Amino acid sequence: MTATPIRHDWTLSEIHELLELPFNDLVFRAQSVHREHFDPNEVQVSTLLSIKTGACPEDCKYCPQSGHYNTGLEKEKLLEIEKVVAEARAAREKGASRFCMGAAWRSPTKKDMPYVLDMVRQVKSLGLETCMTLGMLNEDQAGELAEAGLDYYNHNLDTSEKFYNHIITTRTYQDRLDTLENVRKAGMKVCCGGIMGMGEDEDDRAGLLMQLANLPHHPESVPINMLVKVAGTPLDDVEDLDPFEFVRTIAVARIVMPASHVRLSAGREQMNDQMQALCFLAGANSIFYGEKLLTTSNPEADHDRQLFNRLGIRPEQRGEAHTDEEREAGLIEAMEHERNHHLFYNADERKSA
């Protein structure tokens, strides 16, 4: 069987055709493409920590961290480096392979840069992959972060270009694309996706997928979020998106970006187990364990672990395997790691779950 070629020339009508396939045909196709590039029973697990919360000057209508809306969110200053490193260590112990740090900024200032660069160096020295989301970056900032060892930069396009100014007015789509270009030029990997259920239509979902799939390099990670409606934000009472439309979006993301990790991201807590399993079947192969992972009592992470066991899913090993030998060595290392950390798939446990 020849592998599906990786394309960067998708048309809007091709993406509409995929989104409108009979559901079973679409999911079958997505799962077939998925198996050409990934172990279908592995899901990559990342942990996200907010290093600076709230009071953001941007006006993203979905975001409780925007200073434009009153959501009762407690603002926090930039976390101390020691605290970030301690939490990264805890995440590593719980099986996370990548540690993502997010700050609610329009872009980092000159004063912020030495702190974030030091954070990158220290988290990286723990053997974790590092990811940051800090807002817009110019070429110099992207270069400095890459030099400090940052592996991934997250910068979402959120939606289609035509729907963008219904959601955000304090920056443009082109600003986003410029930052993505700066990140790529600096040699970092890109994490870029969007949010569904913001009142957009199918054309907007298709437009976003086309934009992502036609970037010169596909983002290595593509977070597909379901809007979490937060009281006090302008999207608080927007109409719910049909969950099957969400699964369709994941499936098409998998087909048009076959080698990227498609991440089931925000909104996962609101989904039942069956919905999450459908998303995995449609090609999602990455999740976030939330910050609650880092607290000792963590029912959310336990629930994720049980779901993985029930579905026979294993957390993906650290790093990316490129050859069969590397993959095999990585799997052995991951199995050892998971066994030591009680995340290893256990058939007996699954039977009783």
Q: Which residues are catalytic?
A: 56, 60, 63, 100, 131, 191, 263
Q: Which residues are near ligand SF4 by CB under 6 A?
A: 56, 58, 60, 63, 65-66, 104, 135
Q: Is 279 annotated as a binding residue?
A: no
End-to-end CA separation in angstroms for the chain: 37
Q: At what angle do helices 23-37 and 12-19 cross, to 10 degrees?
A: 110
Q: How far is the CB of 167 from ligand SF4 (least distance, A)?
A: 9
Q: How far is the CB of 156 from ligand SF4 (least distance, A)?
A: 8
Please indicate if the annotation marks 263 as binding a ligand. yes
Length of the chain: 353
Q: For ligand SF4, give the closer residue by CB, 65 or 211.
A: 65
- What's the rounded Cα separation, in Å, for the pair 94 and 102? 20
What single string gives the DSSP state of each residue in 173-238?
A: HHHHHHHHHHHHHTT-EEE--EEE-SS--HHHHHHHHHHHHTSSS--SEEEEEE----TTSTTTTP
Residue located via tokens 């400095």: 144
Nearer Cβ to ligand SF4, position 63 or 120?
Answer: 63
CA distance 262 to 253: 7
The answer to whether 244 and 200 have CB atoms below 8 angstroms apart is no
Q: Is 192 annotated as a binding residue?
A: no
- At residue 174, what is the residue type? Q
- Under a CB-based contact definition with an 8 Å cutoff, are residues 51 and 101 in contact? yes
Q: For ligand SF4, which is the closer residue by CB, 67 or 149?
A: 67
Which is closer to ligand SF4, CB of 75 or CB of 341?
75
Comparison of 177 and 321: residue with beta carbon closer to ligand SF4: 177
Which residue, 289, 176, 291, 197, is CA-closest to 250?
197
For residue 265, give the amino acid letter: S
Residue whose entry in the numeric block shows the structure tokens 């995929």: 18
Report the nearest approach of ligand SF4 to the CB of residue 163 (Å): 15
DSSP, collapsed to helix, strand or coil, labels residue 286 as: strand
Strand, coil or helix: what is 233? coil
60 is in an annotated binding site: yes
Please tell me whether 131 is known to bind a ligand: yes
Structure tokens at 39: 């172990």
Q: Can you say which residues are annotated as belonging to the binding site for [2Fe-2S] cluster?
A: 100, 131, 191, 263
Q: Can you say which residues are annotated as belonging to the binding site?
A: 56, 60, 63, 100, 131, 191, 263
